[in-house]
Amino acid sequence: MAQKITSAQVQADFDDPVSVVHYARAAHFLGLWESERRLIARFFPDCTAPLLEAGCGAGRVTLGLWDLGYRDLTAFDFAAEPLDQARHLATERGAAAIRFLHADATQLSRGADNQNASEPPGRGQVDCATPGPGYSGALFLFNGLMQIPGREGRRAALRGLRAVCVPGAPFLFTTHDREHSPTERALWRLEAMRWERGEQDERLVEFGDRYFEDEAGRTFMHLPDRTEILADLAATGWKPEFDALRREVAAESRAVREFSDECRFWLVRNP
Ligand SMILES: C[S@@+](CC[C@H](N)C(=O)[O-])C[C@H]1O[C@@H](n2cnc3c(N)ncnc32)[C@H](O)[C@@H]1O
């Protein structure tokens, strides 16, 4: 029987050179999507507020935030290789003040309970400290949250992010949406039949999971429907405020559409 996908496998896949090059290229040349730019301007109006970016990879979003004028940025990822790329790019772009941490989103509650961990590491350094409490906002973009295998893992990340955010803090993230088009719905009906017959890919943890390989390397992704995310938010204490498919937020360039499929944006708030 094939081994189920674990978080260690996902981490190894993001540390793979094929994946590192893919995300480093996006950080260098693609930057923020138009939809991301609009939602960031709308929900994160204060450029001086301390913000936390989860799953920063090679720095596409963090460097984009820096270019928009945000100056109190902490970005973390559990994959060391893309994080190293992010740190180098930040230095190259005069953004060495961004704090980079090597941390796992499912383990944040540890940092939130530990006041010492809230002390910022040396600026421009990759640090193993888990982010501590006190962030005025958080982001987990380009579906990073959905790359955590197992619903309990994703809920642990949601709880942990809430624990490090102050009351009222916005949290912006994206997911795929199994129901965003008739084709997707038809494909997922077929996949449901495979699960009913026990014929699904044995490495998958739950219905909705995919594990595939393309020019970006190997990718694990959980594709939820909207109801599932609403239940996860209710279970972890986040208050939903806004959600929309990307195409409803902005028309993206061809380069962005080639880099990333349709997704659903979620803006939720720490009550
Ligand atoms: C699709 S990539 C996006 C990278 C970058 N934010 C971007 O938009 O180009 C998702 C990122 O989330 C990170 N990630 C996934 N699970 C994580 C976890 N449990 N803790 C921290 N980072 C995680 C991955 O290592 C990867 O860098």
Q: Is 46 helix (H, G, I), strand (E, B) or coil?
A: coil
Tokens of 217: 């390397």
Residue 120 has pLDDT above 90, yes or no: no
Tell me which residue of 184, 29, 7 sits closest to 103, measured CA to CA: 7
Q: Picking from 48-62, 121-135, 230-244, which range would have the lowest pLDDT averaged per residue? A: 121-135
CB 49, CB 68: distance < 8 Å = no
Question: How many CB atoms are closer than 10 A to CB 36?
Answer: 25
pLDDT, one tens digit per residue, over 203-216 is 999 999 999 999 99
Predicted pLDDT at 174: 98
Q: Helix and strand tally (H, E) in the chain?
A: 11, 10
Predicted pLDDT at 1: 73
Which residue's CA is the closest to the ligand 1 atom numbered 14?
Answer: 55
Residue 119 has pLDDT above 80, yes or no: no
- Rounded CA-CA distance 269/266 in Å is 10
Predicted pLDDT at 117: 41
- Rounded CA-CA distance 70/78 in Å is 23
- Rounded CA-CA distance 122/115 in Å is 17
Task: For residue 246, name the pLDDT band (cuts at 50, 70, 90).
Answer: very high
What is each CA distance from 110 to 39, 142, 216, in whole angstroms? Answer: 30, 25, 32
Which residue's CA is the closest to the ligand 1 atom numbered 23?
Answer: 55
- Rounded CA-CA distance 231/122 in Å is 38
Residue 118 has pLDDT above 60, yes or no: no
Tell me which residue of 184, 182, 158 sits closest to 171, measured CA to CA: 158
Task: Work out the average pLDDT over 16-27.
Answer: 97
| Ligand 1 geometric centre to CA of 196 (Å) | 31
Predicted pLDDT at 111: 62
Predicted pLDDT at 109: 80
Residues with CB under 6 A from ligand 1: 10, 14, 23, 26, 54-57, 60-61, 77-79, 82, 104-106, 141-144, 147-148
CATH class of the domain comprising 7-269: alpha beta
Predicted pLDDT at 180: 87
| Ligand 1 geometric centre to CA of 105 (Å) | 9
Residue 126 has pLDDT above 50, yes or no: no
Predicted pLDDT at 132: 85
Task: For residue 127, name the pLDDT band (cuts at 50, 70, 90).
Answer: low
Tokens of 249: 């937020």
Tell me which residue of 43, 69, 86, 101 sits closest to 265, measured CA to CA: 43
Tokens of 157: 């990340």
Mean pLDDT value across the chain: 93
The amino acid at residue 239 is K
| Ligand 1 geometric centre to CA of 98 (Å) | 17
Q: Picking from 88-102, 125-139, 199-213, 243-257, which range would have the lowest pLDDT averaged per residue? A: 125-139
Task: For residue 11, name the pLDDT band (cuts at 50, 70, 90).
Answer: very high
| Ligand 1 geometric centre to CA of 124 (Å) | 19
